[in-house]
């Protein structure tokens, strides 16, 4: 979500006449788009601001803006600890970045944070703003902002507000427009995509209106996979089916579904919609039922594994990835062993692993007496990485010798002489480029030649001559 906000900020600045600089040392404007999910972002921000301040002393015309949810949370502190900052803007003020910089140039530092409650419907979702995407063929599409859950560790509800869904027809309209502009892959974004639409219907019912008779809400394809009759509200599954049916869209991804709300309809839609990629990011957080309960996650490890197994049974060749927190307050050695056991059983393709970070105002941050010692956490973190990497490597080795569809992303960031692409399972493949190279956004078939825990290597078999033709390339062995 933060990356997507950055694309919008860059788009707004570009539309205002700015061009990308080669680095901060040359830039007239530097925007730090922050995230406050974990504490080290706070620390990094003040370090970066110190460095920028010395650059600014050498070049007084340079402007510095701080955006994002950390800016929203710490607006006063940033002004206090960050002399030299010209603009502080909140997550809802992205569209104003260029005009705020102008105001600051004329009359000094400015802080602008719009609270969600004061916003009009159209201002909640930034889709009308210009965007500067890193990859021309792939786009994020925000379908939901905020979160109505109350996970004990998480600051998102406090800084991103209540859950709000973008109307069904507007999401499909945005994807159609993107496809018309050459985008072939979209990633639907929300904190809990499976509860998509719940707020829309609750709001309508509260004013005595029947959601089922609201065309703007329903959109054309609300009946869902298999053409089942109209539902009481559009489900995320219906959105997947409708977005997957947009002409020109070859790949649909989404992040994140909450395991407690992963409905059978979503799994069915994944299986039934050719464009929906065979990848499920299903955050586990912990494998201990005791810890899951104290996190207020709303599922047990067994229920999680059951849902994951249902998804694997329905969607052939499904890659599953996850998020795990190590050292949640009160986590014992036994709890952690249970996490290791679930991770081993889940056989993840990869995992984002995080050290628990107390966030101000969250329930868990007040449980200081049960914080886990940092050496214990570091040791558990290292042990978890070993188990995750082992399963990732095993999953990747099983792909060696197979044919995979990739979409080219460009030269590898580490070695510009190597081409990188991404498979439907969201795996990065490095390959030698053919003579003349391949343009980013090109679909191609490769043979997987080698595996590592975090990427695959491959060799080019053929290039897809019809990049907008929507199909699912059968994965064959040999
Ligand atoms: N909405 C998603 C869900 O419920 O699974 C998670 C979104 S959160 C922005 C991304 C990940 O950051 C979480 O899945 C969690 O693993 C991690 N995270 C959030 N708060 C954290 C904290 N206080 N300390 C460490 N990791 C945290
Ligand atoms: Fe945070 Fe939980 Fe909401 Fe995810 S579901 S954003 S972890 S509160």
The Cα 421–Cα 428 span in angstroms is 6
pLDDT tens-digit profile of 267-307? 999 999 999 999 999 999 999 999 999 999 999 999 999 99
pLDDT averaged over every residue in the chain: 89
Give the position, in ligand 1's atom list, of the atom nearest the Cα of 355. 25
Question: Would you call 110 helix, strand, or coil by DSSP?
Answer: strand
**Ligand 2, closest atom to CA 258?**
5
> Are the beta carbons of 87 and 110 closer than 8 angstroms?
yes
Residue 103 Cα to ligand 2 middle (Å): 36
In sequence order, what DSSP letters do the residues of 126-171 get, joined into one string?
GGGS----SSTTEEEEE-EES-----TT--HHHHH-S-EEPPHHHH
pLDDT of 127 > 60? The answer is yes
pLDDT tens figures, 391-402: 999 999 999 999
Closest CA to ligand 1's atom 6: 191
Q: What does each C-alpha distance from 194 to 23, 199, 256, 414 come to in angstroms?
A: 39, 12, 8, 36
pLDDT at 104 over 50: yes
What is the pLDDT confidence band of residue 125, given thresholds at 50, 70 and 90?
confident
For residue 37, the CA-to-ligand 1 centroid distance in Å is 7
To the nearest 10 degrees (0 to 180), the angle between helices 168-180 and 236-244 is 20
The predicted pLDDT at position 465 comes to 72
Question: pLDDT higher for 217 or 462?
Answer: 462
Q: Is 116 exposed, middle or buried, given 0-12, 13-18 or 19+ CB atoms closer than 10 A?
A: middle
Of 169-183, 184-198, 223-237, the one with minimum mean pLDDT is: 223-237
Distance from the alpha carbon of residue 357 to the mean position of ligand 1, in angstroms: 10
Confidence category of residue 222, pLDDT binned at 50, 70, 90: very low
pLDDT for position 454: 96
pLDDT, tens digit (0-9, with 9 covering 90-100), for 25-52: 899 999 999 998 888 877 888 889 989 9
Per-residue confidence band for 468, with pLDDT thresholds at 50, 70 and 90: very low
DSSP 371: P
Find out whether 236 and 198 touch, Cβ atoms under 8 Å: no
The pLDDT value given to residue 221: 42
Ligand 1 atom 16 nearest Cα: 323
Ligand index nearest the alpha carbon of residue 351? 1
Residue 141: how many CA atoms within 13 Å on its side-chain side? Answer: 32
Give CA torsion, residues 199, 200, 204, 210, to 10 deg.
Answer: -120
Q: How confident is the model at residue 466 (pLDDT cuts 50, 70, 90)?
A: low
How far apart (Å, rounded) are the C-alpha atoms in residues 271 and 287?
Answer: 27
Beta carbon of 38 within 6 Å of any ligand 1 atom: yes
pLDDT for position 121: 59
Across the range 178-199, mean pLDDT stands at 93
The pLDDT assigned to 232 comes to 60
H helix runs in 132-278, sequence order? 156-160, 168-180, 198-206, 215-218, 236-244, 264-272
Residue 159: its pLDDT value, please? 86
Among the bound ligands, name the one nearest to the CA of residue 157.
Answer: 2
SS3 7: helix
Residues flanking ligand 2, CB < 6 Å: 147, 149, 151, 154, 156-157, 191-192, 258
CB 264 within 8 A of CB 310: yes
The answer on pLDDT for 228 being more than 90 is: no
Residue 297 CA: which ligand 2 atom is closest? 2
Atom 12 in ligand 1: residue holding the nearest Cα: 37
Q: What pLDDT does residue 300 have?
A: 97
Instruction: State which H helix or E strand residue 376 sits in.
Output: helix 374-397
Cα 322 from Cα 284, distance rounded (Å): 6
Contact status, residue 204 vs residue 165, Cβ threshold 8 Å: no
Residue 473 has pLDDT above 50, yes or no: no
Widest distance between CA atoms in the chain: 67
**What spacing in Å lies between the alpha carbon of 94 and ligand 2's midpoint?**
23
Residue nearest to atom 5 of ligand 2 (CA): 149
pLDDT exceeds 80 at position 68: yes
* Residue to mutate (ligand 2; options 37, 191, 298; most atoms within 8 A of CB): 191
Distance 258 CA to ligand 2 centre (A): 8
Which atom of ligand 2 lies nearest, measured to the CA of 256?
Answer: 4
Task: Give the whole-angstrom CA distance, residue 478 versus residue 423.
Answer: 17
Best of 149, 293, 356, 359 for a ligand 2 pocket test (most atoms within 8 Å of beta carbon): 149
Exposed, middle or buried, 57 (CB in 10 Å: 0-12/13-18/19+)?
A: exposed
Band (pLDDT 50/70/90 cuts) for residue 475 is very low
> How far, in Å, are 205, 350, 388 from residue 239 at the CA level?
21, 26, 32
Residues paired with residue 64 on neighbouring β-strands, in sequence order:
30
**pLDDT, mean of residues 3-9:** 91
Q: How far apart are CA 457 and CA 430, in angstroms?
A: 5
**Whole-angstrom distance, CA of residue 203 vs CA of residue 185:** 31
Q: Any idea which of 316-325, 402-411, 412-421 has the lowest mean pLDDT?
A: 412-421
């Amino acid at each position: 979500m933060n990356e997507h906000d950055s694309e919008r900020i860059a788009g707004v600045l570009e539309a205002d006449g700015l061009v990308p600089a080669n680095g901060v040392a040359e830039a007239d404007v530097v925007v730090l788009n922050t995230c406050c999910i974990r504490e080290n972002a706070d620390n990094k921000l003040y370090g970066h601001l110190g460095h920028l301040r010395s650059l600014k002393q050498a070049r007084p015309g340079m402007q510095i803006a701080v955006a994002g949810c950390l800016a929203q949370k710490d607006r006063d502190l940033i002004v206090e600890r960050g002399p030299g900052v010209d603009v502080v803007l909140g997550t809802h003020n992205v569209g104003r970045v260029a005009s705020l910089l102008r105001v600051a140039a004329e009359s000094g530092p400015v802080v602008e944070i719009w609270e969600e409650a004061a916003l009009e419907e159209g201002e909640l979702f930034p889709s009308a703003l210009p965007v500067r995407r890193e990859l021309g063929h792939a786009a994020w599409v925000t379908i939901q902002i905020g979160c109505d859950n109350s996970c004990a560790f998480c600051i998102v509800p406090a800084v991103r507000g209540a859950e709000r869904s973008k109307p069904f027809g507007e999401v499909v309209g945005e994807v159609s427009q993107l496809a018309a502009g050459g985008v072939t892959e979209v990633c639907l974004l929300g904190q809990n995509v499976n509860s998509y639409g719940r707020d829309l219907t609750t709001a309508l019912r509260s004013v005595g209106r029947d959601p089922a008779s609201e065309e703007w809400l329903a959109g054309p394809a609300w009946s869902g996979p298999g053409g089942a009759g109209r539902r009481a509200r559009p489900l995320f599954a219906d959105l997947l089916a409708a977005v997957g049916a947009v002409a020109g869209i070859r790949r649909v991804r989404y992040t994140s579904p909450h395991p407690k709300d992963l409905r059978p309809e979503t799994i069915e839609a994944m299986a039934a919609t050719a464009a929906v990629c065979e990848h499920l990011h299903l955050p586990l957080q912990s494998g201990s039922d005791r810890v899951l309960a104290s996190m207020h996650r709303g599922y047990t490890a067994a229920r999680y594994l059951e849902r994951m197994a249902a998804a694997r049974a329905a969607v052939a060749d499904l890659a599953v990835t996850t998020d795990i927190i190590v050292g949640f307050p009160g986590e014992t050695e036994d709890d952690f062993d249970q996490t290791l056991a679930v991770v081993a059983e889940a056989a993840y393709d990869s995992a984002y692993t995080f050290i628990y970070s107390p966030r101000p105002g969250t329930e868990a941050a007040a449980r200081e007496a049960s914080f886990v010692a940092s050496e214990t956490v570091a040791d558990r973190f290292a042990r978890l990485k070993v188990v995750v990497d082992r399963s990732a490597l095993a999953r990747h080795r099983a792909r060696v010798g197979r044919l995979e569809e990739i979409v080219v992303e460009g030269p590898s960031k580490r070695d510009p002489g190597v081409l990188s692409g991404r498979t439907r399972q969201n795996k990065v493949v490095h390959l030698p480029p053919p003579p003349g190279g391949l343009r980013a956004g090109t679909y191609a078939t490769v043979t997987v030649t080698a595996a590592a825990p975090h990427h695959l290597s491959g060799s080019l078999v053929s290039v897809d001559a019809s990049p907008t033709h929507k199909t699912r390339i059968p994965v064959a062995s040999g």
